[in-house]
Amino acid sequence: MARSSLHRELKQKRPFLSPAHEALLATLRTADLLRRVLEDVIAPQGITGQQFNVLRILRGAAPDPLPTLEIGERMIEQTPGITRLLDRLEAKGLVSRARCTTDRRQVHCQITKAGLDVLASLDEPVREAGEAAMHPIGRTGQRQLIGLLERVRDTSSTGHT
């Protein structure tokens, strides 16, 4: 059987355990590549991919604030360090935080004008990077990929295989 490009990229000599295993590894490898493409675009603004994600979440919720835990739930990559992410963004003046007046245990977060400005400066470069990265599979392939990945997430999140 011919070796796949993933075999060559990983310099793997043995066959994968199964097509499912190869698909899993190919997805992880591709996700890492796409993450690095995004990081290269946003790095000049002095933020990380996770910080960019938090800013996008807060912009989408604006003008309403969001509790810290809800931001964590909406993250693309789940992280236990949401408070530290928010600390860094607040130190840069990109988000503001305030204790909830009805439940002192909750902290509400909002994007600042500076945070909106950072995102505005990144909107077009991020769109262009996404278009370039996904161009090889065309619009039809992109829609198919979205559907396939959605099926994997739906099945995985319910615990059914």
Residue 38, both tokens: 């995004």
Predicted confidence (pLDDT) per residue in 26-46, tens digit: 999 999 999 999 999 999 999
pTM (two decimals): 0.86
Residues 109/61, Cβ–Cβ less than 8 Å: no
- Report the C-alpha dihedral over residues 99, 100, 103, 105, rounded to 10 degrees: -30
pLDDT digits (tens, 9 = 90+) for 57-103: 999 999 999 999 899 999 998 887 899 999 999 999 999 998 877 77
- Pair type for strands 66-67 and 95-99: unpaired
Domain architecture of the chain: domains with CATH? 46-156 (1.10.10.10)
